[in-house]
Structure 1
Amino acid sequence: MWRSLIRVVGPAVKNETCLLSAENILQQQLRTTFILKRRVTPFLTRKGYPQKKLRTRHYVYELVKDTNVEKQPNIDVILTSFVDDLGNAGNKVNVKPHYAYNNLLLPGLAVYATPGNITKFQKVETKDVKHYSSPKVLKMMESLSRLSLSIVMNKDSPWTIQPWHVRASFRKCGFIVPEDAITMPSKHIKGPDLNIEGKEFYVTVTINNTEKVKVRCRIHHWSTNPVEKLPYVEEFWKTPGELLFPENAE
């Protein structure tokens, strides 16, 4: 049996292409560090005497730290362009390693905060790079631009929409906007007028005295008299409304 097996396998063994050479083996470094301590302290050896042999109990270890599962500290990176929620180009931020590698370093939005990079980005001119007044201002602008603000006005008493009406409506939605940051349309909006019920107009909100964003507002009439109340429209923001000033169409 062995002779027949050698006859079959022998030619294949002689052919070097059928076997894996040592050069083709993938050698990949793994950074695995375990900090251990002996459960039983070894014997002490007197100076000038040979080392005493260790017993089996001296090879029993206790795990002190596994560096593979411990939480890695945050790292410092320097942004090369504006990143939402982090900052402008040239800012040094402290983030988690996984987030920094996958979301900042790989896309080229940041570099490691080495002494050379710190010196480099201090001297680089960033005039052509767009800067924002705060790291979260872009997200705020996106939220306001998608908002459909309901301006509820009295159906029985005369009124003219003022910035404080818009400020109160913002507060109902959870936005704190000062009156001096609200720019009303050039034309006054007066009522009550059911012809403008459900129509939309735009106000401009200035953020940090720098960025400007247009916010869509819709007029709704309200009466304390149950008989005079208009039908409630559910999810009115999903229905496109008619513009009060067509010339302000975007």
Structure 2
Amino acid sequence: MWTQFTRPLLLLEKIYLLKEGIQIINYQQIRTTFILKRRTSPPLHKKGGPIKRLKSKHYVYDLVQDTDIVRQPNIDLILTRYVEGIGNKGEKVSVRPDYAYNQLLLPGLAVYVTPENSEKYKNEKSTSEIQYSSRSAQMIANILSNKTISVVMNKENPWSLKPWHITTSFRKCGYHVPENCITMPAKSIQGPNMDIESKEFFVTVTINNTERVKVRCRIHHWSTSIVDRIPYEYEFWKKPTSPIFSRDENKNM
């Protein structure tokens, strides 16, 4: 009567071979388990005495755990090469099983953590690959190199572009870049100057005092007077423009 509340532990699969008419039965285990608990404990019987018969209430169970929906633990691996966003070669990482099997183990980017593999990659350093300062350094550098930062400057008062202007512009885009990580162009940029409106220049951002990436910036003049304001350009980063300094022309290509 309780078969409807349980699942079969074995899947019986019959394979018929046409040749010689041989029938092979292949048993495959299904990793499906329910952990149950009786709601009412059955009565005990005396040693050597008759076993007391169970009543209907003794067949009522509470579900403690369904192994089908239990979150599987992470898998510890050792990287055999640098993986963007994960780590450098020889590092031990802990990732989800699906990602570990499909993205790391199958392509050969990682191996299981065993005493042999731990000893093999203990002091091994990659000589043919670039070593990054952190697992996300390359990913951050790729993101910043594809960004165009709008640097909004005053149209009425004189100014000279400083690192804190760039830091503020990064913050508007959702990036926290300290001033000491920003290297300005060799030549000073001063304004207001409508000749450099919407023109580009490059700043260098240093990540973890190691990686250096050039980030594209554009000057945009802003005025407190509504009449003197320059109309906002929608998706300005998609529109072609010229650089402020002639040496940056090759970088725009």
TM range (shorter): 0.7 to 0.9
Q: In the TM superposition, what is the alpha-carbon distance from 1:205 to its structure 2 partner?
A: 0.6
Q: Compute the displacement of 1:204 (Å).
A: 0.8
User: Once the two structures are superposed, what CA deviation does each residue of 1:119-149 show, in whole Å capped at 9, x if it has no partner?
Assistant: 1110433232322112222221122112111
Q: Secondary structure at the match of 1:28?
A: strand
CA shift for structure 1 position 59: 9.7
Question: How far apart, CA to CA, are the structure 2 residues paired with 1:194 and 1:229?
Answer: 12
Aligned counterpart, 1:172: 172
Quote the Cα distance in structure 1 between the aligned partners of 2:87 and 2:104. 12
Over 3 Å counting, the alpha-carbon distance change for 1:229 and 1:56 in structure 2 is closer
Distance 1:123 1:172, change over 3 A: closer
**What does residue 201 of structure 2 align with?**
201
Gapped regions of structure 1 (runs ≥ 5): 1-15
Shift of 1:54: 7.7
Structure 2 residue matching 1:156: 3-state secondary structure: coil
Deviation at 1:165, TM superposition (A): 1.6
92 and 58 in structure 1: CA distance in 2 versus 1, 3 angstrom threshold: same
TM-score when normalising by structure 2: 0.78
Distance of aligned partners of 1:176 and 1:55 in 2 relative to their CA distance in 1, 3 Å threshold: closer
Which is further off, 214-223 or 172-181?
172-181
Partner of 2:229 in structure 1?
Answer: 229
Which secondary structure state, in structure 2, belongs to the residue aligned with residue 202 of structure 1?
Answer: strand
AA partner of residue 237 (structure 1): W
Once the two structures are TM-superposed, the CA of residue 61 in structure 1 deviates from its matched residue by 7.4
1:219 and 2:219 matched: yes
- Structure 2 residue 82 is the aligned partner of structure 1 residue 82: yes
Looking at structure 2, the residues matched to 37 and 171 of structure 1 have their Cα atoms a distance apart, in angstroms, of 56
Instruction: Decide whether aligned partners of structure 1 residues 64 and 230 sit closer, same or farther in structure 2, where only a CA change above 3 A counts.
Output: closer
Aligned length: 232
Superposition TM-score, scaled by structure 1 size: 0.79
Give 2:23's aligned amino acid: A
Query: Structure 2: which amino acid aligns with 1:151?
Result: V
More strand by share: 2
The alpha-carbon distance between structure 1 residues 101 and 225, as it changes in their structure 2 partners (threshold 3 A), is same
SS in structure 1 at match of 2:28: coil
Choose 1 or 2 for highest CA Rg. Answer: 1
Of the structure 1 ranges 234-243 and 205-214, higher mean CA displacement relative to structure 2 is found in: 234-243
Other-structure match for 1:185:
185
Q: CA RMSD in A?
A: 2.9
Q: Distance in 1 between the 2:42 and 2:120 partners?
A: 53
Is the CA contact 1:144–1:215 (under 8 Å) kept in the aligned structure 2? yes
Closer, same or farther: CA 59–184 of 1 in aligned 2, 3 Å: same
Looking at structure 1, the residues matched to 57 and 229 of structure 2 have their Cα atoms a distance apart, in angstroms, of: 88
Aligned positions of 1:137-148 closer than 5 A: 137-148=137-148
From the superposition, tell whether residues 220 and 42 of structure 1 become closer, same or farther in structure 2 (CA, over 3 Å): same
**Matched-pair contact (CA < 8 Å) for 2:42–2:54:** no
Identity of aligned residues (%): 50
Structure 2 counterpart of 1:21, one-letter code: I
CA contact under 8 A between 1:85 and 1:135: conserved in structure 2?
yes
- Give distance in 2, aligned partners of 1:58 and 1:224: 80
What secondary structure sits across from 2:201 in the alignment? strand
Which consecutive residues of structure 2, in runs of 5 or more, have no partner in the other structure? Answer: 1-16
Q: Is the 8 A contact 1:36 1:61 kept in 2?
A: no
Q: SS at 1:117's partner residue?
A: helix
- The answer to whether the Cα contact below 8 Å between 1:40 and 1:58 also exists between their aligned partners in 2 is no
Q: What are the within-5 Å matches in structure 2 for residues 104-183 of structure 1? A: 104-183=104-183
| Structure with the higher fraction of residues in helix conformation | 1
